[in-house]
Amino acid sequence: MFDRDKFSYLLIKARGERNNAEFSRESGVSRAYISGYINKNIDKPPTPEIIRRLAEAAYNDVTYEDLMEAAGYIEKSESTNPDMPQLTPKEEKDIAKRLEQLRKELEKQQGLMFNGEPASPEAIESILAALEFGMRQAKIINKKYTPKKYRKDK
């Protein structure tokens, strides 16, 4: 299923410091199309070909697989242990919503420092990526895990 919020987030991350026009030139995808997805105005996923072009021009370790997953073309990668709890769509949405709030708060900050220097957009993206990882791990760890041999639905 197409996850418009996640796709928008990934495009913003993939674009990096470039504006939509620069990202459009480098990817070969129209600026209006990119803006439509970033602003969440388009309700259907782009074609795999367009996703490939966006991924090839992407910064910040955004991969073709990440974009294809957000577009709903491939299933989310399973963890190494399929018996471990997985995040529900609601939990995924909650994490995305909180990250967007954090992004807005960080953008408003004046004089934000990272390692003794003014925080660059890349540093802010790194902070957000680390926070996302931490939120995901905390949600998974806090879920009740029942080993297979003790489950009622063996």
Task: Give the 3-state secondary structure of residue 44.
Answer: coil
Phi first, then psi, for residue 22 (nearest 5°) are -65, -45
For residue 28, what is the DSSP state?
Answer: T
109 DSSP assignment: -
Tell me what pLDDT residue 80 has: 44
Distance CA 69, CA 38 (A): 16
Distance CA 100, CA 5 (A): 9
Instruction: Return per-residue pLDDT of the chain as tens, 154 residues.
Output: 899 999 999 999 999 999 999 999 999 999 999 999 999 999 899 998 899 999 999 998 898 889 999 998 887 654 445 555 677 788 888 888 898 898 888 878 777 887 788 887 777 777 887 888 888 888 877 776 666 676 665 4
CB 24 within 8 A of CB 31: yes
The DSSP call for residue 150 is G
- Number of neighbouring beta carbons within 10 Å of residue 72: 15
Q: Give bridge partners of residue 114 from the DSSP assignment.
A: 117
CA separation for the pair 32, 38 (Å, rounded)? 10
User: Exposure pattern of 22-60 as b/e (b: 16+ CB <10 Å)?
Assistant: ebbebbebeeebbbebbeeebeebbeeebbebbbebbeb
Task: State the fold for domain 4-71.
Answer: 434 Repressor (Amino-terminal Domain) (1.10.260)
